[in-house]
Structure 1
């Protein structure tokens, strides 16, 4: 019986010729287009949101490292960092983080980036203990807590006596005063905030396709919660007259020239609330919700509040805040002879 020997070739396989490479490239392109065409629209929207968060994470990272990484740099380090950022800064629920990992991976590959398997494996290893935490699993169940003036005073009392502390106070009070989204607060410019006799005339720039608006912020009765005084104090201490209204400050107290990212604004609000020992978790949206609720409870008209917040007339979110504020106003069970 003849011994079977492994088949051996005398030469390595020939490389693809240019024509074959062109066909293969065309097939790759056709495959991507076909997969994109059959992908549900809600999945596409989800992936777009995931990629926007990925970009926001990179902006946050650049503020701390001084170097902007390309979005296609999906590595073990950046993907695990993304998981930690979503958990600690965005306070995202674990299942939401899991979906974000998938969205970023798919989108990065669509942009031609190589995503090592080790990166996704490491990211999900970092996510695993988060999925076992009941408090984290409860995240995302319900709307943001609406901050109250009393809580704002507690945050003021706990803020550090430093340039960063002055910035933080001005940031959250102006966010409250304009009923602003974090992206809007980040986009504010010093030259768009005019001091007038009765307070501030503020130009809120257009962000994410939403139209710009001009609002007024009146002097507050209490110095600790007055957005006008807080802004004036920060502006004078920082020496800014134009450019971004709120800027990064290093641990050594040096102020940069670039605007804070929306994520940094949210982080400042959440960190300030924790420092004050508040019993509720505040997010960037808490200032917006708090303004609408507080203004309504003070008897302000819906159209005036909407003009300040920029909500559409038929916004269910806006009317939800109004209903919450009105719960105890002329309550059906009040003073009915019980």
Structure 2
């Protein structure tokens, strides 16, 4: 934790009724002064002002009367909280909390990583203050500062991590005041307006084009050895099955505007060949409704989803089961399903082999179909039915606007 971050968190943690703070050069307690007299981050102080001065936690030296209770004062009146501050391994599940089986595994894993970050931050505060601080507006605002200054996280990532900490703490039985989350997000608002901080994230997915898919499908299958790899050969050739699978994966993901989870969940029996092309059943993933879409024959052999799918199906001998499966370096086909991460890796690595400048991700195929389709005059309703977006989805309409921005341009044909 650098000196500037220590100072900002110290200002938040040691806020008093005058909104002064305690600081000295050695990092210990010093004289109390007004925040305006010191070089502090003024963005964060108003966020904690409304809540932090009203809370006075029990001092570390005070004896504890119970393992599950703690006495404090709020606006000068006694207040008792019935739970110890998180992290707390003994806290049980909150009444009414969603069972773990309902929440998708990817979400649970993400919340676990967020909780590990919170535990790291919470532990560092405990070392400095000598006690485990409760989850209040003060500590949540400090968490925002820590993620911003130490972890260099993007504002949207910080927002998601605040949600993860809140949901996890409440599921463990801890009380998280609404004032605390409100103060933390108030502190986060100025960060979202900073272009430098916004640039830390990956940003919106780059929309892939049919031309880029053709370049990926026709790229050299030889893969150069990565620096530090234990492989003896300087290059190794990808197997024929892997090449055919990736071609079908790229084109079909684009054709159905599929998420990586949806592409992974496709079954051979859910893809039916008809005279016009393919009828594809896209299964339900992460609570989203299933949908049935059609994919027509393409104009180019290298990027035609129907031809690429039939070539892969014939070579792999698919007869039911997962549509896309792992292929090892000896050209052996697995009977398992290619995971969503496996689909994303196949797409990203294919873009690297093709020498594409843009960073292609799994979401690039959804953005690509909508943007390209709108440029070609496809109706928004048709594109939304293909991708499965909600009618009021801001992301979908952002893709539509990207495809329309050169349609009837304001400076086109006005005599310039």
Describe the superposition over 1:151-184 as per-residue Cα deviations: whole angstroms up to 9, x where unpaired: 1111011153611010011001100000000000
Contact 2:371 2:399 in 1 (8 A): yes
Asked if 1:95 is matched to 2:156, the reply is no
Partner of 1:152: 213
Residues 321 and 254 (structure 1), Cα distance of their counterparts in 2 relative to 1, 3 Å cut = same
Deviation (angstroms), 1:53: 4.3
Contact 1:159 1:272 in 2 (8 A): no
Stretches of structure 1 lacking an aligned partner (at least 5 in a row):
1-22, 38-45, 57-92, 112-136
Partner of 2:131: none
Considering fraction of residues, name the structure with more helix: 1
Residues paired across the two proteins, number: 245
Describe the superposition over 1:22-72 as per-residue Cα deviations: whole angstroms up to 9, x where unpaired: x99xx99996149x69xxxxxxxx99865334899xxxxxxxxxxxxxxxx
Residues 323 and 54 (structure 1), Cα distance of their counterparts in 2 relative to 1, 3 Å cut = same
Partner of 2:91: 32
Partner of 1:117: none
CA distance in 2, matches of 1:271, 1:148: 16
Residues 174 and 159 (structure 1), Cα distance of their counterparts in 2 relative to 1, 3 Å cut = farther
Q: Which has the larger radius of gyration?
A: 2
The counterpart of 2:366, out of the listed 288, 292, 298, is 288
Contact 2:217 2:302 in 1 (8 A): yes
SS in 2 for 1:247: coil
State TM-score, norm by structure 1: 0.64
Contact 1:217 1:227 in 2 (8 A): yes
CA distance in 2, matches of 1:267, 1:139: 22
Partner of 1:219: 297
Q: For 1:114-125, what aligned pairs fall within 5 Å after superposition?
A: none
Q: For 1:203-242, what aligned pairs fall within 5 Å after superposition?
A: 203-242=281-320
Stretches of structure 2 lacking an aligned partner (at least 5 in a row):
1-66, 69-82, 96-102, 114-150, 173-197, 222-238
State TM-score, norm by structure 2: 0.52
Instruction: State the Cα RMSD in Å.
Output: 3.7
Residues 267 and 54 (structure 1), Cα distance of their counterparts in 2 relative to 1, 3 Å cut = farther
SS in 2 for 1:158: coil
Contact 2:301 2:307 in 1 (8 A): yes
Contact 1:159 1:169 in 2 (8 A): no
